[in-house]
Structure 1
């Protein structure tokens, strides 16, 4: 298959996902449709490396991840992170629900190794899935090694539509409050609405004409590189994922005026970066062959079902105690099933389906997007890796 044909096919799949999302007003998220189409392609005529052939090998996707997560940090001020303490508690509660249900119920259905392998991928990330997969393989548990990857790949099939449903309910309620004058746009940082060089306090004497697209990319790359260096430097003492530091350093860089808000969008690179990252995510589906899926279908369905039930129960209780709506609390906990960028994409799709007014969109996003982003990073990027590091020792 030629590079351009591969590129046309994979972008067409992303476009079809968008069409379905628009036509169904986000009741069926684009990421869900795209995942189904990629799975069907891999089971029929796709070459296993179609994403790499199209021009998005893992090294490119990693670069985009560094830039995107650093860029995402500019959406959150330090004040906003402090304000999101309820989100952190709810996210941790959802994770506790997963652990409680799988150990409390799953242990009576499957053996201990299956439960141990299932939990870290269910909490979220690719890194935790790889850790558990390699740990299971080293322990001679071949089927569980495959299970760890497939459960990570497939859990979004439950998370995408459920998140879309609860976010639409939350969005409709918030939109009604905004139209009645009961809801205002949340301001995380007084400087967040400043334009041009006003945001860049460290470059306030630099003429606007020198703040080119390349300068924006350069500053993003510098912050991401610094996050990488710190992560690598701390590795002998404590393991901190570089992507976690990218988010944190993005927040700090925005707060001190080294980065403006959403520099990737302003450098006209956001759309391409999201496309590359989503293709990399769907590239993981190439491991899920039909025979493999049939072999692990039962534990896959049961584990994901128990995880969702656990998240709902525990996030509902946490939401009640913290006076957060059950829809928003459940949506935050569900980010464990997919993380970034799906949390960003689904939230925007839902908001776009509810209103065409830019001020209404801004109001909805200011209330819904920050908790979704923070929730996803607490579970997927941080806690899942910690759990994997602990659980893999018991295989």
Structure 2
């Protein structure tokens, strides 16, 4: 019964975060509320081993990360990536701006440990935070474990309102364009080619719709993860196994071995994401008010530096890539959140700007593909590479 009790506490904490986020239309991130509850709980009444007693062990998290990275590969649509190449370029170059500012000014003022352990999380969100906390623990650097967690919580508080503001500005501009000449505005929207995602090989990997069960989908995702780790071991870690999970996930999806959005179709995506988030926030049990106080200002300064580099890069690239400054900065900011936050924020903004279904569709057709592809390129691809590289620098 104790295990169930602790599991219930964790799920209630997750729900409270989501409830506040929905009530405030994502202006207050769910992760912020959840993290605050965990933090206060660990400082007061939560047992330090709350997470493991709720069955979220390190072995479970290893499985979770592998499956989720393969799953991220099934969200990739190569045609859409090609179609939205400008958004990809701005998002990636925005990350580069962040890295330049933080690895120069940041390193000069805050030293190696803080910068190296936090910057991947600033440019990669949840997945990068998970990889960094796991890697730091393996290296035995327990004094650094709180750093990526603090960065993860803080940058969500700042990035969500900024993304919403950028999208509101762009949405208002697009709404004026649509109202001036609806027919011309509709013609400006590029044809969405993502619907043609089937391929000729897909039927070779299916036993028929009757047998395409959640267990079969999860088994195939696990097979790709196992293969990725096996190849990673063969290469003696030259290419990180987590990177290979993502790469082989993209390939498996492209050839039809895995369906799009695989783990959601299997009904386990949210379960695994909650487990991953719980594992990350569990690292707060090693903190005290004094340790958080010592690094909070430094983390906030690093976020300011990173966002400054990101803003400068996106503003300089906006005109050459045919985007407004607001849209370009929003694309770059997807590096801080990724899917599904970019999807939720875009829809929330569109729904708040207009109730007209034609206008809503026009706004979504213009903004959502850029946000999704920018997030996939940064959080799903680049962040894994950056986190893997930075782990070697610890």
Deviates more, 1:360-369 or 1:51-60: 360-369
Cα displacement (A) at 1:50: 1.9
**Alpha-carbon distance between aligned partners in 2 of 1:145 and 1:75, rounded to the nearest angstrom:** 30
Q: In structure 2, what is the equivalent of residue 207 of structure 1?
A: 208
Matched, 1:235 2:236: yes
Q: Is the 8 A contact 2:154 2:300 kept in 1?
A: no
Q: TM-score, normalised by structure 2?
A: 0.79
Number of residue equivalences: 376
Q: Is the 8 A contact 1:153 1:285 kept in 2?
A: no
Deviates more, 1:79-88 or 1:45-54: 79-88
Cα displacement (A) at 1:382: 0.8
Q: Is the 8 A contact 1:123 1:384 kept in 2?
A: no
Superposed CA deviations along residues 306-345 of structure 1, whole A, max 9, x for unmatched, are: 12212211232233332244344334433444xxxx5213
Cα displacement (A) at 1:30: 1.9
> What is the SS of the residue equivalent to 1:34?
helix
Matched, 1:65 2:71: no
Q: Give structure 1 stretches of 5+ with no counterpart.
A: none
Matched, 1:376 2:371: no
Q: Give structure 2 stretches of 5+ with no counterpart.
A: none
Q: Is the 8 A contact 2:101 2:306 kept in 1?
A: yes
Superposed CA deviations along residues 63-104 of structure 1, whole A, max 9, x for unmatched, are: 222222222222213333444543443344223322333355
Which residues of 2 match residues 279-318 of structure 1 at below 5 A? 279-318=278-317
**Alpha-carbon distance between aligned partners in 1 of 2:228 and 2:175, rounded to the nearest angstrom:** 38
Q: In structure 2, what is the equivalent of residue 9 of structure 1?
A: 9
Cα displacement (A) at 1:155: 3.7
> What is the SS of the residue equivalent to 2:75?
coil
**Alpha-carbon distance between aligned partners in 2 of 1:308 and 1:261, rounded to the nearest angstrom:** 32
**Alpha-carbon distance between aligned partners in 2 of 1:272 and 1:111, rounded to the nearest angstrom:** 37
Q: In structure 2, what is the equivalent of residue 75 of structure 1?
A: 75
Q: In structure 1, what is the equivalent of residue 46 of structure 2?
A: 46
**Alpha-carbon distance between aligned partners in 1 of 2:243 and 2:169, rounded to the nearest angstrom:** 30
Q: Please give the root-mean-square deviation of Cα atoms over the aligned residues, in Å.
A: 3.6
> What is the SS of the residue equivalent to 1:343?
coil
> What is the SS of the residue equivalent to 1:47?
coil
> What is the SS of the residue equivalent to 2:295?
helix
> What is the SS of the residue equivalent to 1:311?
helix
> What is the SS of the residue equivalent to 1:322?
coil
Distance 1:367 1:150, change over 3 A: closer
**Alpha-carbon distance between aligned partners in 2 of 1:161 and 1:51, rounded to the nearest angstrom:** 30
Distance 1:112 1:224, change over 3 A: closer
Q: In structure 2, what is the equivalent of residue 97 of structure 1?
A: 97
Q: TM-score, normalised by structure 1?
A: 0.79
Distance 1:79 1:278, change over 3 A: same
Q: Is the 8 A contact 2:166 2:327 kept in 1?
A: yes
